[in-house]
Amino acid sequence: MTDIISREIQLISHPTGMPTLNNFALAQTKLEPLQAGQVLVRNLYISVDPYMRGRMNGGKSYVPPFELGQPMTGSAVGEVVESRAEQLKTGDAVTSNYGWREYFIATPPELHPVSRDIQPLSVHLGALGMTGLTAWAGLYLVDVKAEDVIFISGAAGAVGNVAGQLAKIRGCQVIGSAGSPEKVKFLKEECGFVGEASLEENRAFDYKTSPVIPVIEQLNLAAPDGIDVYFDNVGGEMLEAALSALRVNGRIIACGGISGYNAEIPQPGPSNLFNITTKRLTMKGLIVGDWLGCRAEFEQVVGDYYRFGKAQATPTGKLKNKETVVVGIDKAVSAFLGLFTGENIGKMVVKLE
Ligand code: NDP
């Protein structure tokens, strides 16, 4: 193996509030010679994810904090470029948790082989990766079934759009909120967030309209008889509106709360939490890492929707893998920051050159 120099993004200081470019550095590292039982992997796409914000704080969290001066870990998909392990050969595609770097050396148990037949390979970070598994697990957790009316916040994002498409496959009525007219169009025209009758039925709405229309008003228009399930990616005003709109015995999937991730002081909880009591609601928390044991089943079932179709609500009949692709490891930080200003439709990924 010739000397490999790998570029990587390191966290160099803990952000306060919204992170800035100054919290990160682009560094270079020289890789050690490959040992028996190891493989050299070149990353092709890396994932940037909102949950990473919590890992930047340095304190104790449900996932280990990032170490200052070390490369940022996280989901990535790459290819084996040299192998000294019999389980993997040159050219094999693998996902890993090695994150924001160009090359790395690993042993086979740290890698998850994925099929090169399923393209683009970045789908293994999105619809068939961690965010797709989150969507699938969330629906499973609260036993979503046909005829449920489900409201999804952050619906045009990575988890949200797949949750909506999978709920449509199960026969649910799906309503989504998103932060621009373009995102609403995507939900209606490409993901099937429409009523039975017509595209005009208001099943996806823009929560950033000007002048602002409160979320609860838009949700009541979309679901005049209330909702059965709320898939929460956002928290804050969305959760408060959903608590009002939920019917008796409604269920909440507590997946994320991105509206508060950069808050410098803790945000107050919803003012109407007592709805949980009066309407006998169930709210279940979800951490995707608990669901890795179901990954084979998920990849089979959802992989088949992606390759062969079943999503009658989408134009192609297949599960849509929507992505926003940013090119270059030097753009990884701005891609990450863009998650908090809504720059992405679908999964935000960084393609390495
Ligand atoms: P997304 O692809 O949805 O990207 C983030 C989106 O969030 C943005 O595009 C933006 O969309 C929206 N957003 C950003 N800031 C705000 C804000 N202040 N208020 C409302 N919306 C905002 O990310 P993911 O799909 O990867 O993640 C979605 C959620 O799911 C996150 O909360 C994440 O932490 C959580 N998650 C949880 C997991 C778990 O195991 N529990 C696993 C994976 C994700 P818009 O333009 O519509 O505002």
pLDDT in tens, 85-134: 999 999 999 999 999 999 999 999 999 999 999 999 999 999 999 999 99
For residue 199, what pLDDT is reported?
47
Q: Does ligand 1 lie within 6 Å of residue 126's CB atom?
A: no
| Contact yes or no for 209/233 (Cβ under 8 A) | no
Can you name the residues that pair with 24 across neighbouring β-strands? 11
CA of 108 to the centre of ligand 1 (A): 31
Which of 46, 49, 97, 159 should be mutated for ligand 1, with most atoms under 8 A from CB?
159
| Intra-chain end-to-end CA distance of the chain, in Å | 21
User: Using one digit for the tens of pLDDT, what is the confidence trace for 176-195?
Assistant: 999 999 999 999 999 988 77
Query: Is the distance from the beta carbon of residue 258 to the nearest atom of ligand 1 less than 6 Å?
Result: yes
Cα atoms in the 13 Å half-sphere on the side-chain side of 165: 33
Q: How far is the CA of 53 from the centre of ligand 1 (A)?
A: 11
How confident is the model over 39-92, as pLDDT tens digits? 999 999 999 999 999 999 988 888 889 999 999 999 999 999 999 999 999 999
Specify whether the CB–CB gap between 332 and 100 falls below 8 A.
Answer: yes
C-beta of 133 in contact with ligand 1 (< 6 A): no
Backbone angles phi, psi at 110, to 5 degrees: -85, -5
- Chain centroid offset of residue 225 CA: 29
Q: Kindly report the number of other CB atoms within 10 A of residue 73's CB atom.
A: 18
Query: What is the Å distance from ligand 1's center to 31 Cα?
Result: 34
pLDDT at residue number 281: 98
| Domains of the chain with CATH codes | 5-126+322-351 (3.90.180.10), 130-289 (3.40.50.720)
Helix (H), strand (E), coil (C) string for 161-224: HHHHHHHHHCCCEEEEEECCHHHHHHHHHCCCCCCCCCCCCCCEEECCCCCCCCHHHHHHHHCC
Residue 186 exposed, middle or buried by CB count within 10 Å (0-12, 13-18, 19+)? buried
